[in-house]
Structure 1
């Protein structure tokens, strides 16, 4: 294949998992032309390990001065890749997902044979603001939204639309990018081939420490999306969704007051346009 792909890997304090993830990327039957690894200021020896890989196996490492989340790191890598001006695609990867050897080859072959500009391994449609997962029995299909992890995106489209919004930090950045793509008149697809083995999923439960910060960023970033891409139907769906989640937390959560506070703050920060890393996921302390 005479197709040039820039693989982007974002990592933060997952050194051992990262090592396995890199091995799976290097084991692709159709390897990427370059692997750009962005370290979000890890403190577990990741930077020192990456320094031993720099320049080997077409690996280029970028070291962030602070944790910019997945959105900031992917945006940084996309900007770097665009300056190279040689890539046909970006392949966006996470440090906690292991990809089968045929993953990239399968994505390239399918996106080349269709009019999709972004092809993911997971995706959904939207119905009144709610996600309806893609049909698991259909291998290749058009959808409204593709999860960024594992997705391949045409570089020319990234050049036209710009990279991910850094202000999102975590959560919903791929949803916003999918909206941008569709509003520009392009199509998004999902390839259900089971080529990814995701290790660390979601927040680990409904009322965990992880869902506290995830719910905050989700509420804030959904507000960003409504402001950026306003539609009356989506606004009504957004209001219904937020009220439903607030009531669920208020009635069922053991730490109901804190959960309601975090979600309300997320909405308020979204309205005010307070973006970036505003809440530390580790300490659950607000930074802005």
Structure 2
């Protein structure tokens, strides 16, 4: 395991989620970390909250979208490990320690993600809780040291996306062509794999995900159109359909 982890949280008018996100990180993280909040032009008091809580804040004048916000955070991050975290994704006991164990289990592992209640593909698992207190109780028994639950995959969903700085040094930042968001994570996974990195789902780490809260807020009528547009952009760029990765449920070949 190595050094500091920079946790980068893009947010847009999601202070109610961001508060919970930060509280969970602080309550359940025992390894060195910094929090960088990239505020996409919120008008809900997010900036004042970040200053009050002494969080590193990047304040953008308008909503530039998820990939742009992530890249702004990545540019100022000082960690050996970089973690892109949705503002509606809530940490659990020992979450980061065990994800780092998976990340540093082999030299060629580049990106690691947890399992969760809400995601596409193999990272979604069946859970039994109905509130956040129940989530923490369930995660307490779920999050145990168990490399047998690590699984090599083709894609990691960007909701909680941990990677080594060496990955960014090799392949660069997220492709902002996908702004405001969707498929930038698939694109990054594809580039990482082309560069020789492997991807792992840490099945021994459960995090909670509220689920596309910001996107559905901003694009209530056009959410599916946005997803389809970016899928076409991925296909045009790589001549590969990213849906293949989802249909195979993340299994590595």
Question: What TM-score, normalized to structure 1?
Answer: 0.68
SS in 2 for 1:175: helix
Aligned to 2:227: 218
Post-superposition offset of 1:30 = 2.2
Aligned to 2:210: 199
Post-superposition offset of 1:200 = 3.4
Unaligned runs of 5+ in 2: 127-147, 248-253
1:60 paired residue among 42, 56, 60: 56
Q: Map of 1:143-162 to 2, 5 A cutoff?
A: 143-162=153-172
Would the aligned equivalents of 2:111 and 2:199 in 1 still touch at CA under 8 Å? yes
Would the aligned equivalents of 1:122 and 1:147 in 2 still touch at CA under 8 Å? no
The answer to whether residue 183 in structure 2 is matched with residue 172 in structure 1 is: yes
Post-superposition offset of 1:213 = 2.3
Post-superposition offset of 1:203 = 9.6
Would the aligned equivalents of 2:39 and 2:58 in 1 still touch at CA under 8 Å? yes
Would the aligned equivalents of 1:25 and 1:31 in 2 still touch at CA under 8 Å? no
Alignment RMSD (CA, Å): 3.0
Unaligned runs of 5+ in 1: 124-130, 242-288
> Which structure exhibits the higher relative contact order, with contacts defined as CA atoms closer than 8 Å and separated by 6 or more residues?
2
The answer to whether residue 150 in structure 2 is matched with residue 118 in structure 1 is: no
Q: What is the alpha-carbon distance in structure 2 between the residues aligned to residue 162 and residue 20 of structure 1?
A: 30
Post-superposition offset of 1:31 = 3.8
Computing the radius of gyration from Cα coordinates, the structure with the larger value is 1
Q: What is the alpha-carbon distance in structure 2 between the residues aligned to residue 160 and residue 203 of structure 1?
A: 30
Q: What is the alpha-carbon distance in structure 2 between the residues aligned to residue 135 and residue 95 of structure 1?
A: 18
Q: What is the alpha-carbon distance in structure 1 between the residues aligned to residue 191 and residue 90 of structure 2?
A: 28
Would the aligned equivalents of 2:115 and 2:125 in 1 still touch at CA under 8 Å? no
Q: How many residue pairs are counted as aligned between the two chains?
A: 219
SS in 2 for 1:113: coil
Q: 1:216 to 1:172 in 2, by over 3 A?
A: same
Q: 1:136 to 1:209 in 2, by over 3 A?
A: closer
SS in 2 for 1:91: strand
Aligned to 2:71: 75
Aligned to 1:11: 11
Q: 1:220 to 1:19 in 2, by over 3 A?
A: same
Q: 1:28 to 1:158 in 2, by over 3 A?
A: same
Aligned to 2:131: none
Q: 1:30 to 1:40 in 2, by over 3 A?
A: same
Q: What is the alpha-carbon distance in structure 1 between the residues aligned to residue 215 and residue 74 of structure 2?
A: 30
Post-superposition offset of 1:193 = 2.7
The answer to whether residue 88 in structure 2 is matched with residue 96 in structure 1 is: yes
SS in 1 for 2:221: helix
